[in-house]
């Protein structure tokens, strides 16, 4: 190949990596766009943005692929969910159906189309894209703190969205992972700037009472450090350890800046988590019998219908949602209650279960739920021994953990995008 052709391929790979980074942070960029435009969301704009971000990857990176085991598992999972939707169409929400049917397969096969050259460039490009998003998010948080203060147990609102800090905090996780696997030298001014931004961002999100996402970032950093030691990449393992310690220190700074809010909020979360675990154990013990038909459930017996939940507290709401989910789990059947049906079954109307795995089992059945778990197990098992797979493996861990507290298969495009890319790395080998 000529020098011009090589430069052209490198430029195309960099553009593909940038498209991947944008698609992975699609929701964060969309939220910032809505906020700066003074809008409170638009379903048409959201759908168009998600589809276009995934099509851009396909256009830039399309290549012939040979189907492997994870690809077959994904197709089987997708087919099972679509069959569930078809058989329970009257209980499925049309918006959820459309998002899943279009965006999820596009995301998976967009990731699947990437090659080694593109994936190798992603950490450096992601570091740039995520740093821009993170600077905007931190600036918005600091402005909100200055205007509204940081007292009490109320969550911080930015860009007019209550959930904005949780959504934008995911960017800090992508930023941290990108730094760990980037080519930035540890002892450099750029590295110091990256770590400073990460510290300020994690502290700001902790002050804003973002809880689970920060735990997910810490868990991912610990996993990355352990995996890097296992694969004899000690220099990068040191980076992961530094990221972990930095995030822990930032949480300490948050406690200092908002002591009553952070400590009380965390204590209540731990107490409710213990209650939820106890409820889950009881539900699992009751579910030892054969799987029943969905019609066997009595919605009026749901915990949220028989107990009094304080709707002003998100932690307690989530506790009741988990109780309802485990109550419904034994009766969800092979094909579930219907995609998006949980929010209409629970007495906490409009609330989803916020757990991608529980949602899949309850709304689309045991077949789809089992296949979804099998897909991630197959991908993780294939990547564990591949030294070049650390970035995607860490991203898979981060988004899977987040999906267990904030997840929904109808908006899980980033997770399936990572899954597709992980399948591509697994298929291409070392």
pLDDT for residue 20 is more than 90: yes
User: Considering Cα of 148, then 149, then 152, then 156, what sign does the dihedral take?
Assistant: positive
Percent of the chain with pLDDT over 90: 46
Binned at pLDDT 50, 70 and 90, residue 253 comes out as confident
Helix (H/G/I), strand (E/B), else coil: 161: strand
Is residue 148 assigned to a domain? yes
Question: With contact defined as beta carbons under 8 Å apart, do 136 and 172 qualify?
Answer: no
Is residue 101 assigned to a domain? yes
What mean pLDDT comes out for the span 305-324?
Answer: 68
Could you read off the pLDDT of 98-112 as tens digits, one per residue? 888 999 999 999 999
358: nearest Cα among 279, 267, 255: 279
The whole-number pLDDT of residue 377 equals: 94
pLDDT for residue 51 is more than 60: yes
Helix (H/G/I), strand (E/B), else coil: 385: coil
* 349: Cα within 13 Å, side-chain hemisphere: 1
The domain total for the chain is 1
What mean pLDDT comes out for the span 315-328?
Answer: 78
Is residue 42 assigned to a domain? yes
Is residue 99 assigned to a domain? yes
What mean pLDDT comes out for the span 193-217?
Answer: 90
Give the range among 74-88, 195-209, 299-313 with minimum mean pLDDT.
Answer: 299-313
Percent of the chain with pLDDT over 70: 82
> Longest C-alpha distance within the chain, in Å?
72
Q: Which residues contact 362 (CB under 8 A, 6 or more apart)?
A: 325, 328, 329, 332, 336, 337, 342, 353
Give the range among 152-161, 173-182, 198-207, 396-405 with minimum mean pLDDT.
Answer: 152-161
pLDDT averaged over every residue in the chain:
83
Q: How far apart are CA 22 and CA 114, in angstroms?
A: 14
Q: How far apart are CA 184 and CA 186, in angstroms?
A: 6
pLDDT for residue 79 is more than 90: yes
Question: With contact defined as beta carbons under 8 Å apart, do 421 and 111 qualify?
Answer: yes
Is residue 78 assigned to a domain? yes
pLDDT for residue 281 is more than 90: no
pLDDT for residue 78 is more than 70: yes
The whole-number pLDDT of residue 30 equals: 93
Provide the residue range defining the domain that includes 377.
3-263+365-428
The whole-number pLDDT of residue 312 equals: 53
Q: How far apart are CA 306 and CA 302, in angstroms?
A: 6
pLDDT for residue 209 is more than 50: yes
The whole-number pLDDT of residue 314 equals: 63
The whole-number pLDDT of residue 153 equals: 53
pLDDT for residue 6 is more than 50: no
Binned at pLDDT 50, 70 and 90, residue 83 comes out as very high
Question: With contact defined as beta carbons under 8 Å apart, do 208 and 149 qualify?
Answer: no
pLDDT for residue 295 is more than 50: no
pLDDT for residue 11 is more than 60: yes
Is residue 347 assigned to a domain? no
Is residue 422 assigned to a domain? yes
Of residues 15 and 97, the one with the higher pLDDT is 15
Question: With contact defined as beta carbons under 8 Å apart, do 415 and 365 qualify?
Answer: no
Of residues 194 and 323, the one with the higher pLDDT is 194
The whole-number pLDDT of residue 263 equals: 52
408 phi, psi to nearest 5 deg = -155, 135
The whole-number pLDDT of residue 168 equals: 93
Could you read off the pLDDT of 148-186 as tens digits, one per residue? 776 555 667 888 787 888 899 999 999 999 999 999 998
pLDDT for residue 289 is more than 60: no
Could you read off the pLDDT of 113-140 as tens digits, one per residue? 999 889 999 999 999 999 999 999 999 9
pLDDT for residue 327 is more than 70: yes
The residue count for the chain = 430
The whole-number pLDDT of residue 265 equals: 52
pLDDT for residue 284 is more than 50: no
Binned at pLDDT 50, 70 and 90, residue 366 comes out as very high
Question: With contact defined as beta carbons under 8 Å apart, do 418 and 392 qualify?
Answer: yes
Cα–chain-centroid distance for residue 15?
Answer: 23
Could you read off the pLDDT of 261-278 as tens digits, one per residue? 555 555 555 554 555 555
Helix (H/G/I), strand (E/B), else coil: 158: strand
Is residue 305 assigned to a domain? no
């Amino acid at each position: 190949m000529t020098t011009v052709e090589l430069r052209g391929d490198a430029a195309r790979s960099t553009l593909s990596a940038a498209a991947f980074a944008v698609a992975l942070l699609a929701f964060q960029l969309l939220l910032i766009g809505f906020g700066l435009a003074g809008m409170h969301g638009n379903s048409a704009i959201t759908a168009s943005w998600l589809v276009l971000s995934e099509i851009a990857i396909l256009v830039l990176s399309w290549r012939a692929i040979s189907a492997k085991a994870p690809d077959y598992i994904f197709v089987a999972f997708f087919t099972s969910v679509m069959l569930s939707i078809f058989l329970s169409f009257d209980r499925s929400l049309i918006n959820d159906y459309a998002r899943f049917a279009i965006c999820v397969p596009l995301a998976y096969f967009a990731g699947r189309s990437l090659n080694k050259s593109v994936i190798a460039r992603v950490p450096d490009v992601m570091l740039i894209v995520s740093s821009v998003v993170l600077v905007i998010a931190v600036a918005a948080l600091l402005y909100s703190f200055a205007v509204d203060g940081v007292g009490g147990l109320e969550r911080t609102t930015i860009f007019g969205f209550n959930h904005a800090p949780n959504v934008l905090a995911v960017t800090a996780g992508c930023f941290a992972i990108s730094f760990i696997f980037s080519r930035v030298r540890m002892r450099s001014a750029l590295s110091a700037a990256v770590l400073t931004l990460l510290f300020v961002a994690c502290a700001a999100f902790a002050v804003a009472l973002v809880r689970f996402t920060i735990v997910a970032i810490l868990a991912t950093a610990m996993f990355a450090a352990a995996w890097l030691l296992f694969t004899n990449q000690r220099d990068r393992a040191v980076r992961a350890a530094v990221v972990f310690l930095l995030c822990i220190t930032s949480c300490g700074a948050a406690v200092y800046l908002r002591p009553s809010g952070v400590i009380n909020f965390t204590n209540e979360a731990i107490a409710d988590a213990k209650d939820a675990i106890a409820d889950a154990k009881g539900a699992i013990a009751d579910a030892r019998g054969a799987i029943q038909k969905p019609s066997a459930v009595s919605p009026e017996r749901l915990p949220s219908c028989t107990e009094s939940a304080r709707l002003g507290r998100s932690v307690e709401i989530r506790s009741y949602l988990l109780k309802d989910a485990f109550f419904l789990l034994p009766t969800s059947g092979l094909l579930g209650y219907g995609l998006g049906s949980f929010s209409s079954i629970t007495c906490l109307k409009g609330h989803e279960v916020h757990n991608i795995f529980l949602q899949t089992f309850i709304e689309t059945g045991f077949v789809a739920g089992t296949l979804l778990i099998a897909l991630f197990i197959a991908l993780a098992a294939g990547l564990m021994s591949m030294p070049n797979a650390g970035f995607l493996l860490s991203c898979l861990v981060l988004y899977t953990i987040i999906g267990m507290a904030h997840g929904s298969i109808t908006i899980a495009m980033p997770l399936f995008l990572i899954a597709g890319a992980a399948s591509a790395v697994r298929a291409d080998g070392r």
